[in-house]
Structure 1
Amino acid sequence: MTALPFDTYYRHDELTRALERLAADHPGLLRLHSIGRSHEGRDILLAAVTRFDTGEDRDKPALYIDGNIHATEVTASMACLYFIQHLVTRYGADADVTRCLDSRAFYICPRLNPDGAELALADVPRFIRSSTRPYPYEEEPVGGLRREDIDGDGRILTMRIPDPTGPWKISEHDPRLLVRREPTETGGNYYRLLPEGSIEDYDGALLKLQPLHTQLDLNRNYPANWRPEREQHGAGPFPASEPEVHAAVRFVSDHPNITGAVTFHTFSGVLLRPYSHRADDTLHAEDLWTYQKIGAKGTELTGYPAISVFHDFRYHPKSVITGTFDDWVFEHLGCYAWTVEIWSPQREAGITDYRFIEWYREHPIEDDLKLLKWNDEVLGGHAFVDWYPYEHPQLGPIELGGWDTLYSWSNPPPAMLEREIARFPDWLVWHLLISPRLELRAATAEALGDDTWRVRLVVDNTGWLPSYVTKLALEKRLTPGVICEIELPEGAQLLVGKPRSSHGELEGLAYTPVTSSSWAGWSGDETNQRLKVEWVVRAKAGDTLKLTARHARAGRVRTVVTL
């Protein structure tokens, strides 16, 4: 099989064909199905990736991954597709991939919002936040500036409009760059900047942006801490009201074997973790420590810093966001979840000492000059369009230009796409390999006399994480613990024990201290990751007993004991 190209962005039909091709070429590792339909009726495709002849995906610990919930963030879907190809082509050649697919499963939904992505990738693009469904009103907005490609070049740029009261002026360092007018400055040439577009009902005086007809933000529509529109813009009429979010919520909720989740977005070049609305000291200490360890490994393998949304990625210091995917997975399901913001133009330009959101409020002019130099020397001038004159139908002579946002800020330039998305496979595989995992240690039968036998089953959690995954899940009793079952042949009798019994949770290795020196909180390694179950049965020599141990998150062990 020829590798898929990753120097372009796929529209819906191309993405579908690519997924179908991978599934056809690797039927033992990949099964493709639709988990729902979008607002406009497109299939929301999901790939289940595991070695199916070692067990069904539902019987194995799993990691859920999705992307492209926001329309213009098309790199996210390409990162998912790249990872799927990585898994199926590296199986048998990469030891970690092979071990992971033998014992665990991935659920990967490359494009959760196909309608929005299709609009962003259209020949004449339109930029919206998420879904194409009209919201919060059915009626088309009237009047104002409609953001669109007015000169038909396939790009939506910026309009530079001469205006003596404008807040911008041309920089003395580079005529392409506009900088803020000084607070008391007068007497210069000033400009107003607006998105490229036409103006309905222009009165010759006032310039207003036309409200978008599609104001949903699907990443505010998840159930955790959902707030109505008046409190959280774009949240939708009720939690999981939108078909795309509903499909994801239903799928994840219906798969209790999911132990963690990653959702891909753009941009900032950062690994984000919950909470979005609460400080770190509200987490269980063990959950915070574990999040930090997973994040540190992510930084090691991807180069992206790992941070808290609440502490380091808030849009405004006096407000928080709610209804997000990662908060929902962590708070409602008790699994570690991440939002990965792919791509950092600043970092590409050599700007390293900056804070992600604050940079857009305040940064030195040297940063802008570095970005322009990066555009000129690395990107061949393609990311920043030099200002050019345009006769606007309502405004008259203006200029169009500036950053080609879709392919320089929101997403990497196509030539840089594969390099950027290749950062993630090793971390994603590692993230699943740390999951809890039930494995058989021993299954024996001891004769007690008179066709009576003591049957013993011993299983270990060989994963790094405990079977319950998070202390939050343990507190909320989100899993029933390890369930053990014995199935007897006809004529046999169970004398001691139950056919099915629950035995609580198993610890993992996550809370092992860094030193073996004895201290007040630790004095040795008890076998709290191991479970022993015994039954006494009356049966004949040669009879076969079927034993099962299963945990919603740690998988299933099946074995047979012959008396």
Structure 2
Amino acid sequence: MPDLRFDTYYRYDDLTRILHAFAEEYPQLVRIESIGRSHEGRDIWLLTVTNFASGAPADKPALWVDGNIHASEVSPSSACLYLLQTLVTGYGARAEVTRCLDTRVFYICPRINPDGAEWALADHPKIIRSSTRPYPYDEEPIEGLIPEDIDGDGRLLMMRIPDPNGGWKVSEQDPRLLVRRDPTETGGQYYRVIPEGRLENYDGVTIRPAPRKEGLDLNRNFPANWRLEGEQKGAGPFPASEPEVRAVVNFIAGHPNITGGVSFHTYSGVLLRPFSGQSDEAFPPEDLWTYQKIGQRGTELTGYPNVSVFHDFRYHPKEVITGAFDDWMYEHRGLFSWTVEIWSPQREAGIQEYKFIDWYREHPLEDDLKLLRWSDEQLGGKGYVAWYPFEHPQLGRVELGGWDHLFAWRNPPTQFLEREVARFPEWLLWHLLISPKLEIYDASVTPLSDETFLVRLVVHNTGWLPSYITKRALEKKLVRGVIAEIELPAAATLVSGKPREELGQLEGRAYQPSAIAGWGAGDTTADRTKVEWVVRAPQGGRVRLTARHERAGRAQTELELQPRS
């Protein structure tokens, strides 16, 4: 077993070493490849995990799992590593893991954005949203506040500056905590609070954030519903313009056996599903029902609620986001895809009922006190730093302190990391095992004469999802039906039938009602189909029958053509 710990966050070289060690130690289950290079030239590693002895990966239904598309969201890489460890140690020891890897495949990309992660994990971190590529302009900012570790202690805190027109004051409940000044209040000690950092060309009066030199958001660069930068900040110059996104899009588009996707992010402790930009009413009803069922199972297995981005996770009620991975997977690939936001400091502090984004706009003071107590009791006081004086090079005497967001919020503190990422493998296994699975139901040869034979092949979908996955895939004609092929022995010819037949789609069990009622069609055989050929084979021999579906896999058998005795 590779030397792997879940009380640390790995930088690129160590992550690369660990991933290659898995492939070397478990060659029967793990293969590694680079699917592209980042802006700075680092390989983007992809692991294919399956039992290679039971068939080629391309002939099995697959689930895509990725992490760390956003620079400082490094615990998603750990979630991918934990899944990898669960799979290789569980194969042969756990029935569900063994069945899954014998019949299906995981494609795991632990770190889509290695450049940004290196900045976040540096001894003196620099926090950006996504790619390190300058955008939209290749210029250093000439003025404004540039967030950075100004006192060199390895933390990115806040700065509070005494200001009679400041909006914050010291809380009466806890002197470390700042609370909002009352709307009509005067005569107290007030503060202006800004991120820790330096000021370029400070005029002694105005403080504004400097424009970000690195303004890309890779999760706004996917093709579905992509908008220009003026409409969607961070979108990039055109869809999939960035090498990291292009690598992911190319791989997924080139692997039609992928039946779903899960992208790990931080933070909020929630399972997010499309749409990002429109109401649930835009879904085909069957797709919405199925999304809700998959999400409910995710909630049961992970403890995370499952919600719609549009209805429950918008940054502003009048704004939407576009160009996101899960929207692209659903709209352009016709697949059920999720964004998992790992970690909830609020829930850790005992704040159970809160609205994810709205909480940052408005929440009770008691929530802040609970979070402070959690920092004191569970983080040894390191989450929230008491204010301390600092002589700022431009502002003079200020105080540094407040939440160490990189430590306590953006990712789980390392003592909680394993517990948090251990939530997900069971749901990911379940998510893959519900995929459609093409299998042979019956195959037979019936002699019609000394030289002619009726060959029959019956196949069915043994998975829960239909072969096409979503109604959206049918609407947009994204997926072919089942293909049946026959290979004849020497000197044999087809009397009727074609060498290749397209048999349409196969339903699964996803749309069965919750009870056997007195109305409806009952259980039909829409999950099953057949094809027949009449073969003339004077010398007998063997026919090979193959059924394949790009999402449901491949099934194959051989039959003997034996003349009547």
Query: Which letter maps to 1:231?
Result: E
Match of 1:531? 529
Say if 2:257 is the partner of 1:257.
yes
What does 1:6-85 align with in structure 2 at a 5 Å threshold?
6-85=6-85
Matched AA of 1:534: E
Q: Considering only aligned residues, what root-mean-square deviation do their CA atoms show, in Å?
A: 0.8
Distance 1:452 1:546 in 2: 16
Q: Which residue of 2 aligns with 1:342?
A: 342
Following the alignment from structure 1 to structure 2, what is the Cα–Cα distance between the partners of residues 215 and 183? 35
**Structure 1: 5+ residue stretches without partners:** none
Report the secondary structure of 1:401's partner residue.
strand
Match of residue 547 from structure 1: 545
Tell me the alpha carbon deviations over residues 392-438 of structure 1, each in whole angstroms, 9 at most, x when there is no partner. 11111111111111121110000100000000000000000000000
Counterpart-to-counterpart distance in 1, 2:438 and 2:114: 37
In the TM superposition, what whole-angstrom CA distance separates every residue of 1:490-516 from its partner, at most 9, and x where no partner exists?
210011100011010000000111111
CA apart distance, 1:523? 2.7
Instruction: Please tell me the residue identity of whatever aligns with 2:496.
Output: V
Native 8 Å contact 2:451 2:540 kept in 1 = no
CA distance in structure 2 between the partners assigned to 1:485 and 1:394 by the alignment: 75
Deviation of 1:2 after TM superposition, in Å, equals 5.6
Aligned to 2:322: 322
Q: Deviations over 1:227-261 (max 9, x none)?
A: 00000000000000000000000000000000000
TM-fit CA distance, 1:382? 1.4
Residues 1:371 and 2:406 aligned together: no
1:510-532 deviation digits (Å, cap 9, x = unpaired): 0111111221xx23211110111
TM-score (norm 1): 0.99
Whole-Å separation in 2 of the counterparts to 1:89 and 1:40: 34
Task: Confirm or deny: 8 A CA contact 2:2 2:21 kept in the other structure.
Answer: no
Q: CA deviation at 1:540?
A: 4.0
Matching residue's letter, 1:378: Q
8 Å contact 2:158–2:401 — kept in the other structure?
yes
Correspondences of 1:46-445 after superposition (within 5 Å): 46-445=46-445
Hey, what's the Cα distance between the residues in 2 that align with 1:215 and 1:127? 12
Match of 1:462 in 2: 462
How big is the shift at 1:454?
A: 0.4
Q: What secondary structure, in the 3-state scheme, does the structure 1 residue paired with 2:115 have?
A: helix
Kept in 1: contact 2:2–2:22 (CA 8 A): no
The corresponding residue for 1:511 is 511
Distance in 2, matches of 1:293 and 1:384, equals: 39
Kindly indicate whether the alpha-carbon contact (under 8 Å) linking 2:3 and 2:18 is maintained by their aligned counterparts in 1. Answer: no
- Cross-structure match for 2:486: 486
Deviations 1:360-388 (A, max 9, x none): 00000000000000001111111111111
Q: 2 CA distance for matches of 1:541 and 1:467? A: 38
Q: Give the TM-score normalised by structure 2.
A: 0.98
CA distance in 2, matches of 1:281, 1:20: 45
Cα distance in 1 for residues equivalent to 2:42 and 2:489: 49
Q: By how many angstroms is 1:542 displaced?
A: 4.6
**Aligned counterparts of 2:508 and 2:538: Cα–Cα separation in 1:** 38
Output the CA distance in 2 between the equivalents of 1:524 and 1:127.
56
For residues 24-72 of structure 1, what are the alpha-carbon distances to aligned partners after superposition, in whole Å with 9 as ceiling and x for unaligned? 1100000000000000000000000000010111100000011100001
Residue 6 of structure 1, CA deviation: 0.5
Q: Distance in 1 between matches of 2:477 and 2:250?
A: 20
Amino acid at match of 1:560: E
Q: Which residue of structure 2 lines up, in the alignment, with residue 452 of structure 1?
A: 452
Is the 2:162–2:191 contact (alpha carbons within 8 Å) kept by the matching residues of 1? Answer: yes
The amino acid that maps onto 1:557 is: A
Any runs of at least 4 consecutive aligned residues in structure 1 with deviations exceeding 6 A, and if so which? none
> In structure 2, the residue corresponding to 1:449 is in which secondary structure?
coil
Secondary structure (helix, strand or coil) at the match of 2:431 reads helix
CA distance in 1, matches of 2:32, 2:85: 13
* Cα distance in 2, alignment partners of residues 124 and 385 from structure 1: 18
Partners of 2:2 and 2:507 in 1: CA distance: 43
Letter in 2 for 1:213: K
CA distance in 2, matches of 1:341, 1:540: 64
Deviation of 1:143 (Å): 1.0
Give the counterpart letter for 2:413 in structure 1.
P
CA distance in 2, matches of 1:56, 1:169: 64
Question: Once the two structures are superposed, what CA deviation does each residue of 1:246-304 show, in whole Å capped at 9, x if it has no partner?
Answer: 00000000000000000000000000000000101110110000000000000000000
- Aligned partners of 2:273 and 2:30: how far apart in 1? 29
Name the CA distance, whole Å, in 1 between partners of 2:461 and 2:68: 35
* Distance (whole Å) between structure 1 residues aligned to residue 12 and residue 518 of structure 2: 58
Distance 1:529 1:194 in 2: 60
Name which of 557, 560, 565 aligns with 1:559.
557
Q: Is the deviation greater in 462-471 or in 441-450?
A: 441-450
- Alignment partners' CA distance in 2, 1:116 and 1:540: 67
Please give the alpha-carbon distance, in whole angstroms, between the structure 2 residues aligned to 1:164 and 1:195.
19
Percent identity over the alignment is 67
- The structural deviation recorded for 1:482 is 0.2
In the other structure, the counterpart of 1:501 is: 501
Q: CA deviation at 1:450?
A: 2.6
Q: Distance in 2 between the 1:518 and 1:203 partners? A: 78
1:453 and 1:523 map into 2 onto residues whose CA distance is 36
On the 8 A contact 2:439/2:459 being kept in 1, the answer is: yes
Structure-2 separation of matches of 1:475 and 1:143? 51
